[in-house]
Amino acid sequence: MQENQADQTPESVSPSPAPAPETQSDRAKLWSAFAWVRDLVFSVLIAVVLIVFIYQPVKVEGTSMMPGLSDQERIFINKFTYRFGLSNIERGDTVVFWWPLDPAKSYIKRVIGLPGDRVRIDRGQVYVNDRALAEDYVPPEYRDESSMEELTVKPDQYFVLGDHRSSSSDSRSWGCVPRPKIYGKAVFVYWPLDKLGRLR
């Protein structure tokens, strides 16, 4: 008996597609994502170190440092430069310190007298060691006519004044600032944006 030809024909089988090998493009995308996360974490760590150990953002409250600094402006102070002796406190520096009469309050003023200096004020004109101090950061409309008898700044202390002389509580009324109370130097305005830049 002749066998049916159809029974002798093997079934047609299609092989299953092999998994596509990982392409070079996939590996590049994965590495790119990893690099982005790594850079983000690194940037955050740098920002934390800068803020905690070097720069600190602070808000100016009050008008005593006008016109250079106005109420509610935001600035960065450098906490590193004075603490580790990388820079000395110089006449003209704008410093941030704990107020000697109430350590819970923080003030910002300009350094006028260094340890050992003789400071006096005659109708608004400041004299340091008998020389008139040129203060181009104090416009005429911010000056006053007050006077102060000569004093000698004690060792490790600093005589400070606000730039807005007619609207400032400073060393004229409550004395000099001890060096340990000074914790930072104002260096940069970051808000508002139209005043973005270094402080003079």
Active-site residues, by number, are 64, 109
What whole-number distance in Å separates Cα of residue 77 and Cα of residue 87? Answer: 14
What whole-number distance in Å separates Cα of residue 104 and Cα of residue 101? Answer: 9
Nearest to 84 by CA among 184, 198, 200, 186: 184
Rg (alpha carbons) of the chain, rounded to whole number: 34
- Cβ-based burial of 131 (10 A; exposed 0-12, middle 13-18, buried ≥19): exposed
Give residue for tokens 């998994």. 19
